[in-house]
Every structure is written in C-alpha cells, then in structure tokens.
Structure 1
Amino acid sequence: MRLLVGGYTADMEGTAGGIGLLTAGDADATAAGSLVWRGTAVAAPSPSWIARHPTLDVVYATLEGAGAVQAFTAYGADAWKPLGEPVPVGAASCHILVGRERLFVTCWGDGRVVQLDLDAEGRLRRAVTADAASDPYAGYDEHARVSHAHQSIVVAPGVVATTDMGFDLVRFWRTGSGAPRLLQEVTMPRGCGPRHGILHPSGHLYIVAELSCELFVLAPDETGTWGVVGGTPLGSGTLDGDTAAELAPSRDGTVLYAGVRGSNTIAVLRVTGEGETVTPLALVEAQVDWPRHHLVLPDGLLVAGQRSDEVVALPVDPRGVPGRARARTEVPSPTCLLPLA
C-alpha cells in the first residue's frame, strides 16, 4: 500500500518537508508487513491534513500554519505538484472534507467553516464562509471562549456535520451550490471539546471529545432532529491532561479506535445493540509519542506518532485489540495518513 503522509514543517515546529510518501507491506497493507519511508513527495508548509478527490488524481492539504488550503495533482507513480496557488481560508486550517464538486475546510484558530467550489480538473475556485458559531455557554466563564472548528462529516446526502471544540457544538449544514445553510446545532457538555467523528452504518454519529476523552453517540429522532443518545468515557486508564485525537472504526463497524495523546494509548470500544451503545473494551499502548492519527488495516492499525517522528503497524487480536508493534519506520512529524492504493 502507498500512503501520503501529512506533517508539520518548521513553521509549526516540525521536521517534515511537506507531503511525504510511505509504503506499507504488500498491496493489502497488512500489519505484519514492512514500513518504508520514501521521503517528501511534494514540498508544502505544514500540510497537517490531506484528503483525496473521489474521482481525480488530486489531493488537498490544509497548510495549517499559513491558514490556507492547496490542491496537488499527480504526475507519474509517486510524483505530485501544486495545482494552483494556496487559497487563504482561516486561522489554523486543520481538516478537509472533499466531494466531487466542492470541499469543506474547518479552521481551529478562528472557528471558520469554509466551502470551496472545485472545477472539472479539481482546482480550487470560489470560497464562501458559513455563518459563525455563537457560544451556547457564553457568560459561564470570566473570559470569552473562542470558536475552534475541527472536522466535517457527511451524515446524509447534502448534509454535513461540523465539530466545534471551542464552543462544544456539533453543527449540521445543508450544502449545495450556495453558502452552507445551518440546519441545527447540538450543544455538547461544556468543556468536552468535540473533535472528530464518524458516521456508523447504523446511522449513528460517533463524536470523540478531545478535552474530556469521551465518546458521544448522536442520532436523529423521527423528525430528523439530531441529539445525544448515549456515550462513554474512552477508558478508566486515561490520565488528567490527556487529549483524544483520531477516531476510526473497524472494517465491520463493531469496534472503534480512539487515539489518546499524553498517556499515548489507543482506546478500543465495542459497538453493540443497534449502534446506540458503545462500551470500553481495552486501553492499550500506542507505542508512539503523541498518536495524532491512525488508519485501520485489514489486520491492524497504522499509528502516526507526531512527537516521536515515526509510524508503527500494530496487529490486532480476534477481539480487535491491538498488540505489540510488528513494524515501524522513522517519519518526520506525521499528522495524517492517506492511503492511495
């Protein structure tokens, strides 16, 4: 398997040179296979998140330190080049959701949610900024809080959910050719910091809270209105000061994996019932420092250790619990893993 690797460069106190290239095992990318760092595929300043166009050989990166997004196109097997200039979007742009005709960018620094149109070749075109969020807990704190938008998730055709860590919100948008239209906001527990989420095949939306290290389950009622229907701590072994990062499901959707930075662990959670019940199964060593992102393989996980400058492959047992690393390789300041094939 070939993967592109996002990372932090010197402008974000990292050691990466741009978007990197990593190969993992054979074509099926098993956790028992070798990992080989191939170097920088294309130079870019702190491409912390990268996402691929669904039909074109084009990828998009958040240039987090610059508060911008840029497109890159493939030429040759492992070569990439810029497709147009960087487009400013907002402070600390940190996540991209890509569709055929447009993409969403969320900005941690100022809470902006920005939609950009794409042309037929995947170039970035018109950008529109969605309505800003308001703090539902305004007045509880001595100092005003700051909006920190972090991720976008497709939850239905034409509907996208975005997380806001700063204001403890999950916001739902109707998307299309015009500006995104706000449909609903779900207020999460104060101070939990909703970060990343996934839509489960059952229709439930799972949201991992960075600051409280919890997993929340959201679902729509019979009117289509979303609300919190369940949740759980990530595990009894998390420590004060830990922060949750990426959330990813097993291939059959019965297990969830959440990275926990600080104690440097992977929380393993079991999905039961009709998807509404999630319970902790295990909390295991990530075997890297600062597990920023991870990717589910057919038989394990790839985990990116941002502060230890490495990626490791962890096999999983029949329960879905990761074991000792089978392979590892040095990778500079990795923050995102994107499989190409």
Structure 2
Amino acid sequence: MSASIGNEELLFYVGTYASEEDEGIRLCGLDPKTGTLRLIHGTSGIKNPSFLVLNQNASRLYAASEQSEGAVVSYEVDPESGKLKQLNSLPTQGADPCHLSLSSDGSLLAANYSSGHVGRFALDEQGALSETTALVQHIGQGFRQDRQEAAHAHSVVPGEDGKFVYVSDLGLDQIVYYRVEDGKLTTQGEVKLPPGAGPRHFVIHPNGQHAYGINELNNTITVYAYNPVQGHLEILQHIATIPEDFVGESYPADVHLSADGRYLYGSNRGHDSIVRFAVDPAAGTLSQPEWTGTGGKWPRNFAVLEDFAIVANQFTDNVVLFRRDPATGSLTETGMELAIKQPSCVEPVRSTK
C-alpha cells in the first residue's frame, strides 16, 4: 500500500480492545504539514485486536485476537483505500496473545501472555496463515506471587536474519532466546533479570550490537550487548524509566528506537509519560532521560516516526500526537488527538518509496 492517501497523508492502524461487532481496527491519517489527524475507516469482526503488525510493503496486516482461546487473523490490505479483507485465522493454541512479529524468514510469531505459549506460523504465497510450525510452552514462576505466579510470554522478537527469536517472559524474569531450525524453536539460551523485573517488550538496535528490554514490574530498561551471530545477550545497564521522586504506581509498557538509533523511548502507565533517552553510539548505554506527559492515561503502546510520535492511551480512549525533534529526540504536544475506545496498539504504514 502506498504510504499516503492523497496529500502525502501518513497512515497508521490502531488496534483496540473491542467486541466483534465494534470496529476494533481503525485506519487513521496524519497530515504532516498541519498535524491534523482523522479517522478514515474501521474493520469489525474480530474480538480484542490488541496488537497489529504489517508486512514490509503494507500489503498484509496481522492481528492478535486477545482472548482465552487466542487467535491470529490475516488480512489483505487494499492498496488504494487501506481497507482490510480477512484472509483467514488460526488459533494460537494459547491464551491471550498480546504480541506479534514478522520474521525475515517468512513467518509470523505470537506470544500468549496468560498461558506462556510462543507460536510460530508459516505464511503461504498469498500471505495468509498456513500452519503452526512450532509451539513452545514456558513453565515456572517468578518473584512476585501477584503477577509472576506462572510464565507470561509478553513479546516475541526475531533477530534481523530470522535465525534467532527473543521472548520476554514477564512471569519468569527472563528473556529466553531460541534458534530457528526447520521451522521449529530450539532453546539457545536465556538471560535472567533481577527478581521482580517483569520483562515486557524488546527491541534490537539497528547497529546490530545492542538490544533493549523494558521491564514492567520494576520500572526499568535493560541494555544488552547483542551478538547476532550466536544470538547471545549480555546485560550492560539497568536504568529507571520514571523520575526518582515519583511515588505512585507505574508500569512501563512499550519501547522503541528512533530510526537513526540515537534515541530510545519507553511508555510509563501510571506516570503516564513517554521517557526519552540518548543512546551512546559506541557503548549502547542510555542517559539524559526526558519525560513528556501523554495527554491521557495508561499509554499502552506508541509509535515513533521521524517528525512525530503517536501514543495510544488505553484508559482515556484517546490517541495523541506529539511533534518529535529529530536532532534532540524531544517530544512536544501538538494538541491533536483522536477519540478511539481502548486503543492498545499503533502500527504505522512505513513508506516503501
């Protein structure tokens, strides 16, 4: 799909918590000249499409249906209108899938939070879901009985070449990494986080030497040395996502890097902010935190573009736009937002020009 619908409009999809009758997936537009946002259209027929991922040329979209009997759904994207046509769906064979990713090896990966399952799905020539090629079950418990009574796979992220897959397990305080062999997932190693950390989301730096994980339960980001050849991770730094003087409860959620790798961003639910860090280009470590209020409550997910950031505030039913300074990484309010019920994911249509 073209990255614009007239007037060079930037497009993005928003996933939500919704009933099958509601338009749970919304296509939205952003005018980069004026900062104006608009709702273009919506797609119904899927319950709780809480996480979305587009393929590289934005011709296919995949959605997680987060429920006790989880499913993933594939859609064809109309290249002119951006409207979605369902191709098919498959059960995840787990409970509450909350994160999806596409691998360069041509597969879709899914993390099931409540059951601790991680699945790998082959895709056919049309980009539809073909079959489940791998299903692994995490077992165990962590430090906190209220949140870590069992394994909770919260995200699944492939390495750039698709040879390794990294699963952040909030319940086990581990990032478990797998080797992909003949479509199966074979354990390659694991990194143990401090007790009660609760790893949630994970991102690999474009330099291929560092990675970053955001930890939901102890309000930190962990910096890793990353070995793309053997897949190994080594902890280099833990840094707080919230100010030292904040006394309320807060739970980090999402983490993203700027495209140039100079800045890293994390969302804080409770503190209701986006924190920006400067990335040391050689060491990969983080410094100079700067916080920006999200204009709502419970920023579950967000997207970082060159000149903008788009934040989904789940509890205040709004998606808020911020201007981003590419030179400093700083975010500033624009006053622009969209009313969308229980937004949970922002998936931009990246330009393929």
* TM-score with structure 2 setting the length: 0.86
Counterpart code for 1:270:
A
TM superposition shift of 1:141 = 6.0
Point out where structure 2 has 5 or more consecutive residues left out of the alignment: 1-9
Give the count of matched residue pairs.
333
Counterpart code for 1:260:
N
Alignment correspondent of 1:92: 96
CA 1:88–1:250 in 2, change beyond 3 Å: closer, same or farther?
closer
Point out where structure 1 has 5 or more consecutive residues left out of the alignment: none
TM superposition shift of 1:228 = 0.9
Alignment correspondent of 1:69: 72
Distance (whole Å) between structure 2 residues aligned to residue 37 and residue 336 of structure 1: 15
Equivalent residue runs for 1:56-205 within 5 Å: 57-65=59-67, 66-75=69-78, 76-99=80-103, 101-135=106-140, 145-157=149-161, 158-202=163-207, 203-205=209-211
CA 1:155–1:223 in 2, change beyond 3 Å: closer, same or farther?
closer
Is 1:23 matched up with 2:29? yes
Contact kept? 1:208, 1:244, Cα under 8 Å? yes
Q: Name the SS of the counterpart of 1:43 in structure 2.
A: coil
Q: Deviations over 1:96-121 (max 9, x none)?
A: 11135211100111110001111111
TM superposition shift of 1:273 = 4.8
Contact kept? 1:20, 1:42, Cα under 8 Å? no
Alignment correspondent of 1:207: 213
Alignment correspondent of 1:217: 223
Contact kept? 1:23, 1:35, Cα under 8 Å? yes
The partner residue of 1:48 within 29, 47, 50 is 50
CA 1:294–1:85 in 2, change beyond 3 Å: closer, same or farther?
closer
Alignment correspondent of 2:15: 6
Contact kept? 1:37, 1:331, Cα under 8 Å? no
CA RMSD between the two structures: 2.5
Counterpart code for 1:288:
G
* TM-score with structure 1 setting the length: 0.89
Is 1:277 matched up with 2:281? no
CA 1:278–1:78 in 2, change beyond 3 Å: closer, same or farther?
same
Distance (whole Å) between structure 1 residues aligned to residue 222 and residue 276 of structure 2: 14
Q: Which has the higher contact order (CA 8 A, sep 6+)?
A: 1
TM superposition shift of 1:262 = 1.1
TM superposition shift of 1:299 = 1.6
Q: Name the SS of the counterpart of 1:270 in structure 2.
A: strand
Moved more, 181-190 or 47-56: 47-56
**Share of identical aligned residues, percent?**
25
Is 1:232 matched up with 2:239? yes
Distance (whole Å) between structure 2 residues aligned to residue 143 and residue 291 of structure 1: 20
Q: Deviations over 1:138-194 (max 9, x none)?
A: 8x9699821110112223521111100011110111114331111001111111110
Contact kept? 2:254, 2:302, Cα under 8 Å? yes
TM superposition shift of 1:133 = 2.6
Distance (whole Å) between structure 1 residues aligned to residue 89 and residue 331 of structure 2: 41
